[in-house]
Each structure stands twice: as C-alpha cells, then as structure tokens.
Homo-oligomer: A and B are copies of this chain.
Amino acid sequence: MWRMPKLADHEERRARIVAALLRIAASRGLHAASMRTVAAEAGVSVSTVQYYFGTKERLLFAGLQHQAEAVGRRIEAGLAANPGGSVRDSLYAWLVQLIPVNEQQRAGYTVFAAYHALALTDPALAEQSYTRGSDELEVVLRALLADAQQAGELSSGRDVGAEAGNLLALATGLADSVMADMRTPEAATALLNYQLDQLFVAASSTSPAAARRP
C-alpha cells in the first residue's frame, strides 16, 4: 500500500484536482461537478479539495483559469507549428486552432461553453477576463494583415481592422456550428480557407480550397 509523502507538492495536487473538475465538466457537465464528485474523480477526499481550494467558488475559478491558459497555449502552438510560411498560412494556422477538430478540443470547448454560460449571469465569474486571449489574437491578426497589405498580397479596398475582427468572429461562429453538429470540422476548415482565399489576391492562391482540407 502506497502512502503519500507528508510534504505534498501543492502545485501537483491542485493540478490533479483541477484536471478532475475539467474531466467531469467535459463529460457530465459543469453542474455535475460537486465537491464530492470532483474529489472522487481525483481519488482524494472532499477534505483534501477543501484544503487546497477552500471553497467551491475558488475551485471553479481555478478551473476557468486553467482552461483559459490552455486555450492560450494551443493558439501559440498553432503559430509555432508554422514558422516560415506565408502570411496566409500563418493566419490559417492561428484561426484553425479555434475550430474543434478532435475529441480533446471538443471537450475543451464544452467546458468553455459551460463557463461562458455561467459567466453571463455570475458577475464574479465575468470579472475574470477569460476572453483576453481572443483580444490579443485579434491584435496579432491585424498586424499580420497589415504586413500582407503593405506587401500587396491582399485584395484591394480591404480594411485590415475590420478583416481581423471578422476573421476572428468567423472562426468563432464556425466553431459554434461544429459544436452544434451543424457542420463537420472538415467543412468548417474548408469555409475558413474559402474566406482567406477571398481576402488574399487570387494570384497567391495556387490551389483550390478543397485541396487545403486536412
């Protein structure tokens, strides 16, 4: 029988409990995440959850924070995976990270949707700016588009500020439609590619949108 070392690693314990919370939120819903179910999922007692988070409100808070950081990391990873490519491909690499293409991303989106709905009626949760990542992403998109416009890669008469906002909103809406099972992930990424093809001048688009599907 294994016994816990008496001096525990707080960060590891907290991470384990938060992971249990997010697993439950993704599979059974955030409303099913009680002190008892989270403790059982993490393999600890309720008192341990109390010891590391004090109150359930703080536990939920930690869960949202973890989720927001995870989204931020995934978006950054999307750029790092495409270092030397064109601006168009970089834009695609950023935006496609918002569309849930596998079960893990879908689970993350489920948790995010639950927190989002909760924040709409809970001022304490809304104060935590969990959408800051999106704001930062919009700034990055605008900068990329400005570069492309100066290089003459964009269609004429485009407003880079408006295009950045609309691309982000488009990716968000496409993600919604995938989550609602109105569209397959492949169809959503194809639509995203179509929009980028319209934005960039035709000469730079050497392949049809369908060929870009992963």
Contacts and interface: CB of A to CB of B under 8 A. Distances in A.
B118 A29 contact: yes
Contacts of A26: 121
A121 B29 contact: yes
Given A117-B113, A117-B116, A131-B180, A159 B30 contact: no
Interface string A7-44: 00000000000000000001111111000000000000
- Could you say which interface size class chain A belongs to? 35 or more
A179 interface: yes
Interface string A163-189: 001101111111011011111000110
A169 to B, nearest CB: 3
A169 B191 contact: yes
A52 interface: no
A122 interface: yes
Contacts of A28: 121
Interface in A102-127: 110, 113-114, 116-118, 120-122, 126
A32 B26 CA distance: 21
Nearest to A202: B157
B118 A116 contact: no
A158 interface: yes
10 contacts: A113-B113, A120-B179, A126-B181, A131-B180, A134-B182, A157-B202, A169-B176, A169-B191, A170-B170, A198-B198
